[in-house]
Amino acid sequence: MNSSIFKLDGICVVTISEDEFYDDDIGMNLLQSFKEYRSNKVVIDISFLKFLQSADITRMDYLSKLFGLNNIKSIFCGLNERSICTVVHFIDNFSFKTAISVDAAIDDLKN
Amino acid sequence: MQAQNDMTFNISIPVLEISDYAILVPMIGMLDSSRTQKLMEEILMTIKRNSVKVVIIDILGIVTIDSAVAAHLIKVTKATKLMGADAIISGISPVIAQTIVNLGVILEGVVTTGNLKDAIKLADKKMGMSLVEIVKQS
């Protein structure tokens, strides 16, 4: 995997790379990594996304549901505020959790 | 003209930091697409800049509400949620509440309170804090 992954306080932090985010097998690969790290709480940093599109929201929703099926709590962080202003007009619903930063996501998962 | 419009916007929708983790946006007058977009940008940038956790949008000063205004408010709360913060809409008067219900607007997932006091209490509660009265010892 090109994405960086490390474990902090029992929580896996993944800084996902752009090419892997759009890879069809990313969910499966990440699940495998989480299994190896023996973690059921993960933070996904997607700060590489400078221009957020509605397809990206759908992708995050899909990954969140996939992790949820494996009893893994996930929080996405690093969303660009300017992109959100635009993309919010084109999305109906989303079920994933978000945080302003990796630190905030870790705090949220700890509590 | 543009400067005057900007000034009117800044006066009418200020973003106030009420604590380390919460901001208050008191809304006055009419709400249209342009104002909502600017408001959304301002709120999101403040969330990013100050690591805000809770955004309170007080709509007591909104004169009229229709389905478009309600849709704008829902978009602002969605955007806030995407940034990782919670949004609370406060100041929903009985008339506004009745209008929202009559319009058939579904405010599912949007946290609302009747007044600002309750919204601030709720924001504190979300952060695990509460105001405690200091008892003076005689």
> Residue B51 contacts by C-beta under 8 Å, 6 or more apart in sequence?
A100, A101, A104, B21
**In 3D, which of B114, B113, B107, B131 has the Cα closest to residue B18?**
B131
B45 interfacial to chain A (CB closer than 8 Å) = yes
Decide if B40 and A99 are in contact by the 8 Å CB cutoff: no
Alpha helices in B13-115, H assignment, sequence order: 33-50, 67-82, 94-103
- How far apart are the C-alpha atoms of A9 and A82, rounded to whole Å? 31
Q: What per-residue confidence (pLDDT) applies to A73?
A: 93
* Chain segment A11-53, per-residue pLDDT in tens: 999 998 888 888 888 888 889 989 998 889 999 999 888 888 8
| Confidence grade of residue A110 (pLDDT, cut at 50, 70, 90) | confident
Q: Which residues pair with B73 in a beta bridge?
A: none
Q: What per-residue confidence (pLDDT) applies to B135?
A: 80
B40 interfacial to chain A (CB closer than 8 Å) = yes
Least CB–CB distance from A85: residue in B41, B51, B52: B41
Residues of B in contact with A44 (CB under 8 A): none
- Token pair 């705090």 is at which residue? A107
Decide if A100 and B84 are in contact by the 8 Å CB cutoff: yes
- How far apart are the C-alpha atoms of B33 and B59, rounded to whole Å? 16
User: Is-contact B59 B89, C-beta < 8 A?
Assistant: yes
Q: Which residues pair with A5 in a beta bridge?
A: A14
Q: Give the SS3 label for residue B102.
A: helix
Q: What per-residue confidence (pLDDT) applies to A1?
A: 65
- How far apart are the C-alpha atoms of B32 and A101, rounded to whole Å? 31
Residues of B in contact with A102 (CB under 8 A): none
Residues of B in contact with A57 (CB under 8 A): 82
**In 3D, which of A69, A78, A67 has the Cα closest to residue A34?**
A67
- How far apart are the C-alpha atoms of B73 and B80, rounded to whole Å? 11
Residues of A in contact with B44 (CB under 8 A): 81-82, 84-85
Residues of A in contact with B51 (CB under 8 A): 100-101, 104
* Chain segment A69-85, per-residue pLDDT in tens: 999 999 999 888 888 88
Decide if A77 and B48 are in contact by the 8 Å CB cutoff: no
A47 interfacial to chain B (CB closer than 8 Å) = no
User: Is-contact B45 A81, C-beta < 8 A?
Assistant: yes
A66 interfacial to chain B (CB closer than 8 Å) = no
Decide if A99 and B84 are in contact by the 8 Å CB cutoff: yes
For an interface test with B, which of A84, A94, A102, A106 has the most B Cβ atoms less than 10 Å from its Cβ?
A84
- How far apart are the C-alpha atoms of B90 and B27, rounded to whole Å? 10
Q: What per-residue confidence (pLDDT) applies to A66?
A: 92
pTM of the model: 0.81
Q: What per-residue confidence (pLDDT) applies to B138?
A: 62
User: Is-contact B13 B45, C-beta < 8 A?
Assistant: no
Q: Which residues pair with A12 in a beta bridge?
A: A7, A42
Give 10-residue mean pLDDT values along chain B (138 residues).
Answer: 66 82 88 83 90 92 82 89 92 84 81 91 86 75
Least CB–CB distance from A101: residue in B51, B75, B81: B51
